[in-house]
Structure 1
Amino acid sequence: MIKSFDMQDIARRAACPPGQHHRFREKLDEHGFVVLEPGADGGVAPDLDLDAVMSQLGEPVSYGFGTKLDLQPHQGSENLQFSTHAMPLHTDGLFNAGPAVRYIGMRCVAAPRAGGQTLIASNAAFFAHAPADLLDVLRGVTIEYRNRIPGYYRDRPEGGHPQVAPVQDDPVTGRTRLVIGLTDPDDPMRTHDATVVGLGAKESTALLGRIKAVLHQPHVLYAHTWQPGQVIVQDNRQVVHGRAAFPGQPRKLVRLSVA
């Protein structure tokens, strides 16, 4: 069980240096994510091979592109994931018609000089620091998501836009979790649109903005600056994640999710 509701403390505890990689599942279960550090030479040690790490946690989730994805900018791409733009905080699997995502693994191949941090917000910290009135509202609403990049995920049937309760009790962990997909409505490359069911556009935007404000509090959000060779594993039921912008720079992560 998590011992702190301050994300900066959680992040320190989630670090897993060489020699402690055998403890990564223990740290992952307790903190919601873990950062596996490479050795001094930065090489791919057997215990930092992404396939080997993730195979200990479950079966790979298959998307339209397969199971493993190179996350790097593609010139001319209209998909936010393959740009240098910021990626808003989200829970994986809102659109995918396949099995639920439990764990997300990413290995850094190339890191930008500035920006490009992976943003990780703790669900436990969110519920500890969010105003009580906001939590009361969230327990009584659903959010509808409309995918803007069809064919990329294993899409639900046409018109079957997912409507998801943002506050859920996870049947496996027993913990309350935040299930959310924030978006920038002004970004033409956004992956999806999100609206609170039953609210007008202005009220919906305001409520989503309140969620974002809490998630970006220093007590709730950790911004990880990548170094080549590092591996991060996240529990999709305990944290939400996103990305800071990194204009004009290279960045490459390899991602593999498991059910």
Structure 2
Amino acid sequence: MRSAINLLLATLAFSDIMLSLLCMPFTAVTLATTDWSFGVGFCRTSVMLYWLFVLEGVSILLIISVDRFLIIVQRQDKLTPHRAKILIAASWALSLCVSLPSVVGWRTAAIGAQVPQCILGYSESLAERGYAVLLAVAVFFVPFGVMLYSYLCILNTVRRNALRIHNHTSEGSVAINHVSKLGLTGLQRPQVNVDMSFKTRAFTTILILFIGFSVCWLPHTVVSLLAVFSRRFYLS
């Protein structure tokens, strides 16, 4: 816990664990019984907790992606443990602000007659539709755009660095062969030192998380928006 990346990953794990403990069991029971048996009040709370933990997890992924971009592309390591704690606190506060309206003002969060799950559903209110769009933008579209740009820049930087190292190594081999032909001895082969810090090695893991995030949340976001804007789709 003395490094910024470990603090971020621990927060990401915590949000996922809380989502699994406080939301998924009730959804599993509802799917098995095809009936929400926990009351309208807890239905609204469950919706709020779901979006709170999801938003927090996505926020942490976004922070980590930007941090990798600054380290690998910009070569700026500015995220200290103290700054990471500030960002984590700010992300929790922002996630709470965005998710809170779902428990205090989302009229259609209550159980629908034909919808066994307790989810945000169809609404004709412009405010509630706008809130649904806000959730989609905050959870998927903005994080996806920023992370996609960051990883494309990172991959391009890694490719250019690998090509530069390969060319440097090839030039060193040519020089050694030339020296050998001249009959010179006592010369050492030039060494190429590559600094592969743990922060760069963590990139592969973060990239896998990004791919998983994109594959899971693209259909989820599309279905959620269709459910809010189309009554026929919501009740189908």
Name the structure with the higher strand share: 1
Fold agreement, TM-score > 0.5 = no
- Give the TM-score normalised by the residue count of structure 1: 0.23
- Give the TM-score normalised by the residue count of structure 2: 0.24
- Bigger relative contact order (CA 8 A; separation at least 6): 1
Structure with greater Cα Rg = 2
Name the structure with the higher helix share: 2
